[in-house]
Amino acid sequence: MAVERKRFGSGILSAAVFVALEIAAIIMLNHSSSLQNIWINRASHRVHAIIWSAGENIRNYFTLDKQNKVLAAENIELSSMVREFGQRDLSYRENHFYDTKLGHFKMIPATIVKASRNTQHNYIILNKGSEDGVKPQTGIVTTSGVIGVVNSVGKHFSYGITLMNPRMSVSARIGFTGMVAPLEWDGCNTDGAIMRGLPLHQQINPGDTVWTSGFSSVFPADIPIGVTGRIRQVDGSTNEVSVKLFQDFSALRYVIITENLDRVEISELEKEAEK
- Angle, in degrees to the nearest 10, between helices 64-93 and 34-62: 60
Residues of the chain with pLDDT under 50: 3, 8, 45, 48-49, 85-102
Instruction: Quote the pLDDT of residue 143.
Output: 84
Q: What is the pTM of this model?
A: 0.64
Instruction: Quote the pLDDT of residue 118.
Output: 80
Instruction: Quote the pLDDT of residue 166.
Output: 87
In sequence order, the 6+-apart residues with CB closer than 8 A to the CB of 260 are 104, 105, 138, 139, 217, 218, 220, 266
Instruction: Quote the pLDDT of residue 86.
Output: 47
In angstroms, the CA 70 to CA 195 distance is: 35
In angstroms, the CA 209 to CA 244 distance is: 10
Instruction: Quote the pLDDT of residue 263.
Output: 78
At 159-206, the pLDDT tens digits run 999 999 988 999 999 987 788 999 999 988 889 999 998 988 888 889
| Domain boundaries defined on the chain | 2-62, 103-274
Amino acid symbol at 115? A
Angle at 263 between CA 257 and CA 269, to 5 degrees: 165
Residue 256, beta-bridge partner list: 109, 141
Instruction: Quote the pLDDT of residue 140.
Output: 95
DSSP 245: E
- Fold classification of 103-274 (topology level): Thrombin, subunit H (2.40.10)
